[in-house]
Amino acid sequence: TGTVEGAGSRRSCWSSSQLPEPNIWILQLPSDMEKVLSCFRRSPEAASRLICFPWAGGGSVHYARWGTILSGSIEVLAVRLPGRESRSRDPFFRNMLQIVDEVLPLLLPLLKEKPLALFGHSFGAFACFAVADALKRRHGVEPVHVFLSGASAPFSEIRIKAPKRSDQSDGDFLRWLTSIGGTPPELLENPEVLKLFLPALKADLHVVENFSYGKPDVPILSCPLTCFDGREDVPHDLQGGLKVRRSGSDRKSAV
């Protein structure tokens, strides 16, 4: 089996069970936030917040149930990137800096209110790391925890040298996507769904394929960091990734 670096794990990320239930109500965020951050279940008494970044081609809706599954002590918000959901008319981002520059100012006031952690899966893991890195570099603040799932280290040579797929024709891209597995056949065989899904997937892959990060000589983040990989997935190349984090505060788990 294979995985799209940035697109999700071998297990399906597109289960209908992840769609929001009708009785889930959305937190009314300030107007400058609600375009980018979604909260599908408000928990005003929550002790902390978890900000989630979607995988390539994904949207904030895929984290809708997390607010009901996780303890009421955690309020879950998800990043909504341009070119999908209510932002379908917005042009896709072309580089990671655009994601960082949009999300970062929205997190700063939230960091002042209560403890905040970040989670990202696959492509979202790279965006999550880039935002955490920028928070510390630009503002000297960090989340209380960073969770990264299904992704190689940002400075992995294997990742950097991997063939770029986002510029392929749709036909070639779909054949490659089918060959590596991990994407539900019903999605790949539905022209109407592909019309919505494929542009977002290729745009996000373009971002992650062109995201470069030099291997650090000193720790970057001092906050705890946990990495997850799927037991059925090809292991991702963390390449001595503990140099990115603080010794003794890092874990890797297979799920």
- Which one of 43, 122, 149, 156 is the catalytic residue? 122
Q: Quote the Cα angle for 215-95-244, to 5°.
A: 25
Residues pairing with 118 in the sheet? 51, 146
Host H or E run for residue 196: helix 191-209
**Rounded Cα gap, residues 67 and 74, in angstroms:** 8
Residues pairing with 79 in the sheet? 37
Active site (annotated) includes residue 166: no
> Angle at which helices 191-209 and 170-180 pack, to 10 degrees?
90
**Rounded Cα gap, residues 159 and 108, in angstroms:** 31
CB proximity list for 117: less than 8 A, separation 6 or greater: 48, 49, 50, 51, 143, 144, 145, 146, 147
Q: Are strands 225-229 and 116-121 parallel, antiparallel or unpaired?
A: unpaired
Sign of CA dihedral 41, 52, 168, 178: negative
In three-state secondary structure terms, 146 is: strand
Query: What residues are annotated to the active site?
Result: 122
